[in-house]
Chain A
Amino acid sequence: DAGITQSPRHKVTETGTPVTLRCHQTENHRYMYWYRQDPGHGLRLIHYSYGVKDTDKGEVSDGYSVSRSKTEDFLLTLESATSSQTSVYFCAIRDGRRTYEQYFGPGTRLTVT
């Protein structure tokens, strides 16, 4: 999985609780992305980062926030989890020098009850 780890790999939480997912890379890539994967929707971009402290919104950013204080770590936070955020979350990285290829982590399965 291209030097990408995600933690936790599985999490069950209750509606209304905050949740933070972590993506860690060892590739020193500039770009990092958070996607969610749901049946019938493919993968949809939540937020992305183009450098330390530089982030921007994706297609489905409502209810999510992100932070990147170090090159290697990109955190996704659900401030108050809802059942509609039950999904599989994938982190991806891209080397700005190899402009196009994105490589994905193993994913985190989140269930909000």
Chain B
Amino acid sequence: QQQVKQSPQSLIVQKGGIPIINCAYENTAFDYFPWYQQFPGKGPALLIAIRPDVSEKKEGRFTISFNKSAKQFSLHIMDSQPGDSATYFCAASKNTDKLIFGTGTRLQVFP
């Protein structure tokens, strides 16, 4: 079953734009929400992660917003660059256990 739903499937923005990728989860026991970035031919790389005790986390140009009551979290990429073009995956897990991944969002940033 799809426990983590990710949208949109693909996203095209101009350089400097702020793409937003959304994820929704079902299991209220989830307590860890990471985002991974994957370039073609490479393995996913951990980008940023959040725990449910905070509503926002920033690392450089990347921000996670977390809404516990709505069971949603999102990734914002500030001042996006062509080098940010990649596929992004959200995920969730409980008790440090197995990660459940979303289906991915392909982001293209044009100059």
How many residues on chain B are close to A (CB under 8 Å)?
22
Chain B residues near A94 (CB-CB < 8 A): 96
Q: Pick the contact of B101 from A42, A101, A105 — CB < 8 Å? A: A42
Question: Which stretch (B14-22, B43-51, B64-72, B73-81) binds chain A?
Answer: B43-51
- Chain B facing A: main interface SS: strand
Is A102 within 8 A of B99, CB to CB? yes
Asked if B89 is at the interface (CB within 8 A of a chain A CB), the reply is yes
Q: Decide: A45 near B46, CB < 8 A? Known: A40-B103, A100-B93.
A: no
Complex Cα gap A105–B41 (Å): 11
Identify the 9 closest CB pairs spanning chains A and B, nearest first.
A104-B43, A42-B101, A99-B96, A43-B101, A42-B103, A100-B32, A104-B44, A106-B43, A45-B98
How many residues on chain A are close to B (CB under 8 Å)?
23
**Tally of contacts, chain A with chain B, CB under 8 A:** 50
Would you mind naming 20 contact pairs between A and B with Cβ atoms under 8 Å apart? A1-B43, A33-B98, A41-B103, A43-B44, A43-B89, A43-B101, A45-B99, A48-B98, A59-B98, A90-B43, A99-B96, A100-B34, A100-B49, A100-B93, A101-B46, A101-B49, A106-B42, A106-B43, A107-B41, A107-B42
Complex Cα gap A13–B34 (Å): 34
Interface residues of B in 1-32 (CB under 8 A from A): 6, 32
* Residue interface bits B77-111, CB-to-A below 8 A is 1, else 0: 00000000000010101001011111110000000
Asked if A103 is at the interface (CB within 8 A of a chain B CB), the reply is yes
Complex Cα gap A33–B93 (Å): 14
**Which of B41, B99, B103 counts the most A-chain CB atoms under 10 A from its CB?**
B99
